[in-house]
Amino acid sequence: MPSFLCDINLPYYISLWNIDEFIHQKDINDEWSNEKIWIYAKENNLKILSKDSDFSNKIIMSSPPPKVIHIRFGNMIMNQFCDAISKVWDDVVEINEGHKLVNVFQDRIEGIQ
Protein backbone atom coordinates (compact mmCIF):
# COMPACT_ATOMS: atom_id res chain seq x y z
CA MET A 1 0.00 0.00 0.00
CA PRO A 2 1.44 3.40 -0.95
CA SER A 3 2.46 5.90 1.70
CA PHE A 4 3.86 8.62 -0.57
CA LEU A 5 2.52 10.47 -3.60
CA CYS A 6 5.27 11.79 -5.87
CA ASP A 7 4.28 15.00 -7.62
CA ILE A 8 4.66 15.25 -11.38
CA ASN A 9 7.63 17.60 -11.04
CA LEU A 10 9.84 14.88 -9.52
CA PRO A 11 11.82 12.39 -11.59
CA TYR A 12 9.80 9.30 -12.35
CA TYR A 13 12.63 6.81 -12.73
CA ILE A 14 14.38 6.89 -9.36
CA SER A 15 14.83 3.38 -7.98
CA LEU A 16 14.29 4.68 -4.45
CA TRP A 17 10.73 5.66 -5.40
CA ASN A 18 9.85 2.78 -7.70
CA ILE A 19 8.55 0.44 -5.03
CA ASP A 20 5.03 -0.22 -3.74
CA GLU A 21 5.37 2.42 -1.01
CA PHE A 22 5.24 5.18 -3.65
CA ILE A 23 2.66 6.20 -6.19
CA HIS A 24 3.46 8.75 -8.87
CA GLN A 25 1.04 11.37 -10.07
CA LYS A 26 1.94 10.30 -13.59
CA ASP A 27 0.36 6.91 -12.84
CA ILE A 28 -2.87 8.50 -11.62
CA ASN A 29 -3.40 11.62 -13.74
CA ASP A 30 -0.52 13.81 -14.84
CA GLU A 31 -2.85 16.72 -15.57
CA TRP A 32 -4.31 17.11 -12.09
CA SER A 33 -4.17 20.50 -10.44
CA ASN A 34 -2.39 20.89 -7.12
CA GLU A 35 -5.79 20.99 -5.42
CA LYS A 36 -6.77 17.60 -6.88
CA ILE A 37 -3.42 16.15 -5.81
CA TRP A 38 -3.99 17.52 -2.29
CA ILE A 39 -7.48 16.03 -2.06
CA TYR A 40 -6.34 12.65 -3.39
CA ALA A 41 -3.44 12.53 -0.91
CA LYS A 42 -5.73 13.54 1.95
CA GLU A 43 -8.39 10.95 1.08
CA ASN A 44 -5.77 8.21 0.75
CA ASN A 45 -3.60 9.27 3.72
CA LEU A 46 -0.56 9.81 1.49
CA LYS A 47 2.39 12.11 2.11
CA ILE A 48 3.05 14.46 -0.80
CA LEU A 49 6.59 14.59 -2.19
CA SER A 50 7.16 17.67 -4.31
CA LYS A 51 9.52 20.38 -5.48
CA ASP A 52 6.49 22.71 -5.63
CA SER A 53 6.32 25.33 -2.87
CA ASP A 54 2.51 25.51 -3.21
CA PHE A 55 2.17 22.34 -1.12
CA SER A 56 4.50 23.52 1.64
CA ASN A 57 2.72 26.89 1.72
CA LYS A 58 -0.66 25.15 2.03
CA ILE A 59 0.37 22.75 4.82
CA ILE A 60 1.64 25.68 6.92
CA MET A 61 -1.98 26.84 7.18
CA SER A 62 -3.49 23.33 7.46
CA SER A 63 -3.39 20.26 9.61
CA PRO A 64 -2.45 16.87 8.16
CA PRO A 65 -3.33 14.81 6.33
CA PRO A 66 -1.64 15.10 3.98
CA LYS A 67 1.87 15.69 5.21
CA VAL A 68 4.32 17.32 2.80
CA ILE A 69 7.95 16.66 1.96
CA HIS A 70 9.30 19.62 0.00
CA ILE A 71 12.50 18.82 -1.86
CA ARG A 72 14.37 22.08 -2.31
CA PHE A 73 17.56 21.04 -4.07
CA GLY A 74 17.27 23.46 -6.95
CA ASN A 75 18.44 22.40 -10.39
CA MET A 76 20.84 19.49 -10.59
CA ILE A 77 21.52 16.67 -12.98
CA MET A 78 19.61 13.44 -12.42
CA ASN A 79 22.56 11.45 -11.01
CA GLN A 80 23.31 14.16 -8.46
CA PHE A 81 19.63 14.37 -7.49
CA CYS A 82 19.37 10.61 -7.02
CA ASP A 83 22.54 10.47 -4.95
CA ALA A 84 21.51 13.44 -2.79
CA ILE A 85 17.99 12.18 -2.03
CA SER A 86 19.19 8.61 -1.43
CA LYS A 87 21.71 9.78 1.18
CA VAL A 88 19.12 11.62 3.26
CA TRP A 89 15.94 9.65 2.59
CA ASP A 90 15.95 7.63 5.83
CA ASP A 91 16.37 10.85 7.84
CA VAL A 92 13.58 12.52 5.86
CA VAL A 93 11.17 9.68 6.63
CA GLU A 94 12.10 9.73 10.31
CA ILE A 95 11.61 13.51 10.61
CA ASN A 96 8.35 13.28 8.66
CA GLU A 97 6.84 11.03 11.33
CA GLY A 98 6.65 13.91 13.82
CA HIS A 99 6.28 16.87 11.47
CA LYS A 100 3.65 18.03 9.00
CA LEU A 101 6.25 19.56 6.68
CA VAL A 102 9.79 18.49 5.94
CA ASN A 103 11.98 20.80 3.87
CA VAL A 104 14.89 18.95 2.30
CA PHE A 105 17.82 21.13 1.25
CA GLN A 106 21.18 20.04 -0.12
CA ASP A 107 22.88 20.89 3.18
CA ARG A 108 20.15 20.28 5.78
CA ILE A 109 16.70 18.93 6.59
CA GLU A 110 14.11 21.01 8.47
CA GLY A 111 10.97 19.70 10.11
CA ILE A 112 8.00 21.98 10.84
CA GLN A 113 5.27 20.82 13.24
Q: DSSP string of 31-86? A: T--HHHHHHHHHHTT-EEEES-HHHHHHHHTS-SSSPEEEE---S--HHHHHHHHH
Look up the pTM and report it.
Answer: 0.94
- Which helix or strand (DSSP H or E) is residue 92 part of? helix 78-97
Give the model's pLDDT for residue 50. 96
Residue-wise pLDDT for 49-79, tens only, equals 999 999 999 999 999 999 999 999 988 898 9
Rg over alpha carbons for the chain, rounded to the nearest Å, is 13
* High-pLDDT (> 70) share of the chain, %: 100
What phi and psi, each to the nearest 5 degrees, are found at residue 99? Answer: -135, 145
Angle (deg, nearest 10), helices 53-60 and 34-43: 60
